[in-house]
Structure 1
Amino acid sequence: MDTKLFESAWTGNVDDLNMLLRETPLVLHTISVDSGENPLHIASAAGHTSYVREILRLRPEYAKELNKDGFSPLHMAAANGHVEVVRELLNVDRKLGCIEGRDNKTPLHFAAMKGRVDVIGEMFSCCAECIEGVTVQKETCLHLTVMNIQFGAIKVMVQWILERQKEDLLNLKDEQGNTILHLATWKKQRHASEQSVFVSYQAMRWLDDFSVLFQVIELLLGCGTTSSGLLEVNAVNQCGLTALDVLQMFPSEAGDREIAEALQRAGAVRARDLSTSPFPSYASSNGIINQPETRPRCQWLTDNVVEYFKFKKDRDSPSEARSALLVIAVLVATATFQVGLNPPGGTRQDDNIYSPNRNNRTSLSQAGKSIMGTNNGISFALFVVFNSLGFSMSPFMINILTSKFPLQLELQICIIALFFTYNTAMGTIAPRGLSFFTFLITTVFSTITPLVIRLVKRIIKVVKQLVTGICQKMKTLD
């Protein structure tokens, strides 16, 4: 983006914009070609209403553009609480309130997360249907408001929902089957546990958050939704838990009794007490319904936890996955390098080892050699193979994950130096009889391992394609 155009948008100076347009009439027409952000993004984030109004008059289509981070101008204005800017943008097109950005989040989602009550009211009046938007994780604006402990925002939303008889929104579930009541009780438990660990300013802040969560729960239970049956207080999430289960799962003694009583007055029960339990029931010989065994239930919960933490392309960003992989690769490199320098059993500190020939009591140089290697060569050989395998793959991963990073040459020099340092250390501690084997493993084997793995992955891919093709042919013949 042109520097002068950027400065005028950041300062909100309309005169500078008009002067720039006189000097370069096509500046607003070429900006989209070489930049992922237009001046409307900047002015909206800064809250310059007059500048936004002028840009919308000249290029109204800018209001629909997403920047490189997946945010529209309305996303930025809503998140920062600029009500006037939000109003100007919605006047251009009321459907902008439903525009989806990164992770399918709408401007209302960001206003809810930040607790921008005025912005929420403005968006409800201009684009009521935006409240039905859900993120990639199937979270509504109500979920995000509770997760970010914004009592004012949740209060406005609940009242608006009740006035317009859209009570079904109160019972919507996220990807894990949690309603807003689940999240409110879970956040309360989390803050109560943190409160017992942290002190000083942070403790006071969490105490404030806890009181807000308490108000949220009271609001949800006391707004008339439970008495009229509009709020499902016994909704069960994918882990087979009701809101009361979540509350009692980790007792904190910080308001638990009051909340539990409020939930029970609203008709809340434990999942095991529900007649429509998500787990199969078994009838005993005396006709009493028994709950399923603990093992199947625990296995079911474990499977859901594994599913929850799996990487999903539509949910998890590549940058976050890369950061996590970098951390893992560095940890593996550190662990394998450290255990290579200090093998199991340690190393010998002296040369008090003699040849077995009694007539020639010559001392063998064993200082610094692995004790495990001198006592059990097979165990040491296996140790060298698998430790070198783990170590060689970690620098390879680091090199891939840091591709095209700044200071790339310097980083590669560090990786190569680390690789040869490891080889030297392993060769030094290896006993005489295993020194050549250790050299082959730490240099040749470690170097070709990434190439072998690539070849194996290609072979597996080809085999899968062949098996799939054969299965399809067999189905066709049948």
Structure 2
Amino acid sequence: MDERMIEAAQTGDINLLYVLILNDPYVLERIDAVPFSHTPLHVAASAGHTEFMMEMVKLKPTFARKLNQGGFSPMHLALQNHRTQAVLRLLRFDEGLVRVKGREDFTPLHHVLQTGNVDLLIKLLAVCPEAIEDVTVRDETVFHLAVKNDMFEAFQVLVGWLIRSRHESAQRWENELLGWADIDGNTVLHIAAIRNKPRVVELLLEHMRRNQINAKNLEGLTALDIQSQYPWNERQAHRIVDMLRKAQEL
């Protein structure tokens, strides 16, 4: 990308942008022709220049879903740089940007889960509920990621949203996602057992079916097997084992 175009995007200079287009009407076309390109929209989103960003989206809508050489879309970069207003403005242009899969199939929603920004999490789910279905390249759901990143509040919000949602797919999501297995065959309950998270286990058991509670991973272990074998914190381990045994008896 031309240095002056980078400068325009970094400073949010819309006038300079149009000077460059006047001098070379195909300047944006050449950038778009590169399969993986760090476009002016990526630069502006990273810097939080929302007016320049939306001017660029108008001129080149395809930039909004384009991945750069690092595997990130403009919205991914806006999130990484804590440009919340830029994220919200992009959502007004295209709600589906929440589902753009970047590096390792991480979506913007997955990124928000890792940061634990509950307010933004709620906003993303409100504009694009279907994003809750998306999984990473390791088949991890948003629930897996919340537990793995020790984001219990975000996990609570996700479960509560799932239970209260009136979306036509809500019942299917509840049935499938809470018992979803990742690439290693681990459900969220397995992960909670591995990470010794009694609050997560307690919340999950309120909404999981018996066959999900007794599901085995690729090593042939249930969550109870894992917790019984690897009790890192004895007090918490006993609590989790007791909960899992009682759930199996119901």
AA of the residue aligned to 1:134:
V
Q: Deviations over 1:34-71 (max 9, x none)?
A: 67210111222333322222211222221121111222
Structure 2 residue runs without a partner (length 5+) = 166-170
The residue that corresponds to 1:250 in the other structure is: 230
Give the root-mean-square deviation of aligned CA atoms. 2.7
AA of the residue aligned to 1:45:
S
**Aligned-partner Cα distance in 2 for 1:268–1:247:** 17
Q: 1:79 Cα shift?
A: 4.1
Call closer, same or farther: CA 1:230–1:160 in 2, change over 3 Å. farther
AA of the residue aligned to 1:98:
R
On the 8 A contact 1:70/1:102 being kept in 2, the answer is yes
Q: 1:21 Cα shift?
A: 4.2
Instruction: Give the alignment's TM-score, normalised by structure 1.
Output: 0.46
The residue that corresponds to 1:123 in the other structure is: 124
AA of the residue aligned to 1:3:
E
**Aligned-partner Cα distance in 1 for 2:52–2:243:** 50
AA of the residue aligned to 2:201:
I
The residue that corresponds to 1:147 in the other structure is: 148
Call closer, same or farther: CA 1:264–1:82 in 2, change over 3 Å. farther
Call closer, same or farther: CA 1:82–1:158 in 2, change over 3 Å. farther
Instruction: Give the alignment's TM-score, normalised by structure 2.
Output: 0.83
Q: 1:214 Cα shift?
A: 4.3
Which has the higher relative contact order, 1 or 2, with Cα contacts under 8 A spaced 6 or more apart? 2
Call closer, same or farther: CA 1:128–1:256 in 2, change over 3 Å. same
The partner residue of 2:207 within 213, 221, 225 is 225
AA of the residue aligned to 2:145:
L
The partner residue of 1:239 within 202, 212, 219 is 219
Call closer, same or farther: CA 1:14–1:167 in 2, change over 3 Å. same
Call closer, same or farther: CA 1:56–1:215 in 2, change over 3 Å. same
Question: 1:112 aligned to 2:91?
Answer: no
Give the secondary-structure state (helix, strand or coil) at the position aligned to 1:232: helix
Call closer, same or farther: CA 1:3–1:231 in 2, change over 3 Å. farther
AA of the residue aligned to 1:219:
L
Structure 1 residue runs without a partner (length 5+) = 189-212, 270-478
**Aligned-partner Cα distance in 1 for 2:210–2:53:** 42
Q: Deviations over 1:365-389 (max 9, x none)?
A: xxxxxxxxxxxxxxxxxxxxxxxxx
**Aligned-partner Cα distance in 2 for 1:180–1:137:** 13
Question: 1:264 aligned to 2:248?
Answer: no
Structure showing greater Rg: 1
The partner residue of 2:174 within 151, 157, 167 is 167
The residue that corresponds to 2:168 in the other structure is: none
**Aligned-partner Cα distance in 1 for 2:244–2:155:** 19
Question: 1:2 aligned to 2:2?
Answer: yes
Aligned-pair identity in percent equals: 39
Q: 1:33 Cα shift?
A: 4.5
Call closer, same or farther: CA 1:80–1:261 in 2, change over 3 Å. farther
Q: 1:162 Cα shift?
A: 0.9
The partner residue of 1:182 within 169, 190, 195 is 190
